[in-house]
Amino acid sequence: MNTKVYCFGEVLWDIIGGTEIPGGAPMNVAYHLAKLSVSSYIISCVGRDKRGEKLMGFLNENDVDTSFVIDSIYPTGIVNATIDANEEVNYDIVYPSAWDNIKVSKDLSRMDILVFGSLASRSDRSYEALKSILSKADLKIFDVNLRPPFLDKDKICYLLGLSDVVKVNLSELNTIYSWFESELSSDVNQATLIMDKFSISELILTKGAEGGCYFSDGVNYNFKAYPVSVKDTIGSGDSFLAGFIYGRLNGFDLEENLEFATQISGYITSNKGGCPEYQLVDFNRFLWKKSYDYIEKRRYVAAY
């Protein structure tokens, strides 16, 4: 597989109960793509500190290409995360951090796929860096990831207007819809309005334990969540997106693709943190343990 996927945005440490775990949505996507043997690059910034050194070591050890990660006088990013009684995660994202100062220091004349979110756009410098490379990507995937209070409607709308594929959760869909309409409407109508307004080709709506829905021209496909014992939901959506990209690159049909994405998301949700250590054989055993006896005939198993 020669396709290269570039992930732009925050790299950081999630601090949960005093334990520091590698994180940041773009980095999570890059990590899981690398686990799936996809060539993944991270475009970001770390501090000239122990956390930055350790984070770079983690990425390199897990085959994520760090050629486009620069260093900064600002500290490596940290997020103080707390998990509530419903296993949902609340984030206190420290500002400023190194990833607020991303600069594309090497030539990027072309990218097969670019994955990005909205959080890195909280700083003008990182936002301008992202804008400078958007036109160079053949496929632009916007994993929205709204994180209050860092919500800039104008910036987010600009990025929506340049995106080919958009992934949102239900809360994010409701928020974006509310910027243009005051009346309540169904998920389908909200997604349709947003896609029409910004000429988006594909939209993926994730709804946690309720699964989600995929929208494209004339297609409205509902998919179920993968039932697991939840450890935490950190990075579950990021691993879903990595699985979706992997399936797309390997020619899965829509049903197979969304099925695979929900399976790997379920596996990550059953572990702690957004980037738990695992090998593909571990994921395969997880599926067998869950009695997915049809897995044997799925095309992606051959890639393991």
| Domains contained in the chain, CATH given | 4-10+28-45+104-303 (3.40.1190.20)
> From edge to edge, which strands make up the β-sheet containing 219-223?
65-72, 39-47, 4-8, 111-116, 137-143, 165-169, 202-206, 212-216, 219-223
**Alpha helix (H) residue ranges in the chain:** 25-35, 50-61, 124-134, 153-161, 170-178, 187-198, 236-249, 254-269, 280-289
- Residue 233 pLDDT > 90: no
Q: From CA 264, how far away is CA 106, in angstroms rounded?
A: 33
- The confidence band for 286, taking pLDDT boundaries of 50, 70 and 90, is low
Q: pLDDT tens for residues 113-129?
A: 999 999 999 999 999 99
- The confidence band for 281, taking pLDDT boundaries of 50, 70 and 90, is low
pLDDT at 230: 86
Q: pLDDT tens for residues 151-208?
A: 999 999 999 999 999 999 999 999 999 999 999 899 999 999 999 999 999 999 999 8
pLDDT at 236: 92
Instruction: State both tokens at 212.
Output: 């989600």
Question: What angle do the packed helices 124-134 and 153-161 form, to 10 degrees?
Answer: 10
Average confidence score pLDDT of the chain: 90
- Residue 246 pLDDT > 50: yes
